[in-house]
Amino acid sequence: MIRTLEMRNIVKRFPGVLANDHANLTLRAGEIHALLGENGAGKSTLMQILYGFHSMDAGEILLDGRRVHLNSPKDAIALGIGMVYQEFMLLRPFSVVENTVLGLREGPGPLLDLSKASAKLKELSDRHGLALDPAAKVENLPIGVQQRVEIVKLLYRDARLLILDEPTAVLTPQEKDRLFSVLRALPADGRTVIIVTHKLAEVMDIADLVTVMRDGKVMATRSIHETSPQELTQLMVGRDVNLRIVKTSQAPGDSVLQLPVLQIKDLHVAGEDDREKLAGVSLDIHAGEILGIAGVDGNGQSELAEAVMHLRDIRSGRVLLNGADITNRSVARHRALGISYVPADRRHVGSVTEMSVADNAILGLQQKFSSGVFRNIRHARESAQNLVSRFAVRPAGIDAPAGKLSGGNLQKLILGREIIRASAALIVEQPTRGLDISAVEAVWQELLRARQEGKAILLISTELEELLNLADRVAVMFAGRVVGIVDAANASVEEIGRMMAGLPAAASIPSHPPGAISGTQRAEIV
């Protein structure tokens, strides 16, 4: 039984980074403790030390006053410490109970007694309101339920301290509420919950105590009743950040009369498993407009972006740029016509991390930076230098491998590269995922500037706040269809959340078949 757990003066160094700088953290039984900080503040490192995944360079961990050594997650689990990673560690073809007992010895001798385990799991599930079917295959479960499988794995091992790393990143608002109600009940058993997050609203919503980290240091620990979002923000970033950025209104009359820059007409796309990923999506994007696409990850948003760029085979439907059919043109042709794309995966698609910043700055336009058959390396370097200084990429050296840049700086490099080239349209996918507040702000400003310059922007994001702040209209996708389109100015989070979960929109919506709603026939919701 853990009563108190203390991490004292934890120091952890990684190549070139001081990830934890004499960090202190005290946890008591029965509390929900939020660990708040920007990306790269050292939260995950600190938790991975507590879970025995990383060794520490200095410092000590005291469990009820006794010093403990955590050399591996195995040691941590034995002491009742469990962790749910952001990426779930589940075997997808296995059932819930099989995943739960994985690594344990359940049953007499070498035999595995799944029925006993199932009964125990069922009992845990009922007691904690997890609503899990032990026999269900994980691959058939929605993300939110998979997360509860991760939680039941910890409860099954009787973890007293549960660490959840960014648990809400992949959830719909409804799933998040569900998760929070499960978590709120855990401290009653004397369990401790740590939530690692960079979202202030969630901290205020669920935590009893909050510890703020910045640059590897612990800035402060506060009781939630004695603090405010303003104070926490200040502790996180060291300055006031106004995230309600100013969006100038564009004259909507013009854009409706004009031909849309990008028209997507009844697009059908198949996924790798031959199931339909896009089931007839139609959208219009006008010059100077940001059309947001809301939706839980995996409802066809990435496929939409890739299909528009023709990075993915299209079954039927058309994509028009300024009225001209570009559906089956090559990716290179799309780029030459002035359509840019910022993919969600910065490190594996948007950049070549092994190559230098300068080489990444010309990615996609490598044929343009040449004279004859030779590369014009001077020209390419100049343009990389401009890019780095205009978009404030740090560090500014263009010869370092791009993989050494932090997420935010790499994103600024990619976004800058694509914005500069986007003479007509820009497709942006999850532009601020995993970025810290100051990087978010910079990315948002750049997107609004591109909108000001009259570019047609398709903004795909799972962050509702981002969409409501930036977009002019928000289309909600579910299961490969556009469920509805709302005006960002008077949309409500609740309504969009309902549509994200696949529920039909409010009764006021005209009875369009899903997917047939185009931009010009706006469905005004709320």
Residues in the site for other proteins, rule: CB under 8 A?
A: 13-16, 309, 311, 330-335, 341, 343, 345, 348-355, 359, 362-364, 366-367, 369-370, 373-375, 377
Contact present, 51 and 79 (Cβ < 8 Å):
no
Q: What is the DSSP letter of 402?
A: G
Residue 412, exposed/middle/buried by CB under 10 A (0-12, 13-18, 19+)? buried
- Give the SS3 label for residue 499: helix
Residue 13, φ and ψ in degrees, nearest 5: -110, 135
**163: nearest Cα among 205, 201, 121, 192:** 192
Question: Which string of b and e fits 180-202 if b means at least 16 CB within 10 Å?
Answer: bebbeebbeeebbbbbbbbbbeb
Tokens of 381: 């370097």
Of 303 and 495, nearer to other proteins (C-beta) is 303
Say if CB 166 and CB 86 are below 8 A apart: yes
Least distance (Å) from other proteins to the CB of residue 268?
A: 21
Q: Which of 102, 97, 84, 94 is closest to 138 using CA atoms?
A: 94
Q: In the complex with other proteins, which residue's Cβ is closer, 117 or 309?
A: 309
Residue 227: phi and psi, rounded to 5, are -135, 175
- Give min distance, CB of 365 to other proteins, in A: 8
Residue 61 CB, nearest approach to other proteins (Å): 14
C-beta of 154: minimal distance to other proteins in Å?
30
Closest approach of other proteins to the CB of residue 13, in Å: 7
Q: How far apart are CB 350 and other proteins at their closest, in Å?
A: 7
Quote the tokens at residue 157: 């091992």
In the complex, least distance from residue 286 CB atom to other proteins, rounded to whole angstroms: 25
Nearer to other proteins, 256 or 331 (CB): 331
In the bound complex, what is the minimum distance in angstroms from residue 294's beta carbon to other proteins? 24
Nearer to other proteins, 26 or 370 (CB): 370
Closer to other proteins by CB, 325 or 354: give it.
354
Q: Could you tell me if 216 and 22 are in contact, meaning their C-beta atoms sit under 8 angstroms apart?
A: no
CA distance 505 to 497: 10
- Closer CB to other proteins, 22 or 116, in the complex: 22
For the bound state, the minimum distance from the C-beta of residue 373 to other proteins, rounded and expressed in Å, comes to 6
Q: Treating both helix axes as pointing N-terminal to C-terminal, what angle do 437-452 and 229-237 enclose, rounded to 10 degrees?
A: 90
Q: In angstroms, give the least distance from the CB of 320 to other proteins.
A: 19
Q: Which is nearer to other proteins, 92 or 348 (CB)?
A: 348
Q: Judged by CB, which is closer to other proteins: 58, or 89?
A: 58
Q: How far apart are CA 324 and CA 319, in angstroms?
A: 8
Closer to other proteins by Cβ: residue 369 or 391: 369
Residue 477 and residue 397: Cα distance in Å, rounded? 40
Q: 235 to each of 2, 46, 200, 240, how far by Cα in Å? A: 29, 18, 12, 9
Min dist. Cβ of residue 262 to other proteins (A): 18
Sign of dihedral through CA atoms 237, 48, 25, 10?
negative
Task: Specify burial of residue 482 (Cβ count, 10 A radius: 0-12, 13-18, 19+).
Answer: buried
Nearer Cβ to other proteins (46/362): 362
Whichever of 95 and 351 has its CB closer to other proteins, that residue is 351
Q: How far apart are alpha carbons 180 and 202 in whole angstroms?
A: 9
What are 468's two structure tokens? 């409501």
DSSP state of 135: T
What CA–CA distance (Å, rounded) separates 386 from 366? 17
The smaller minimum CB distance to other proteins, of residues 74 and 333, is found at: 333
* Nearest distance in Å: CB 266, other proteins: 25
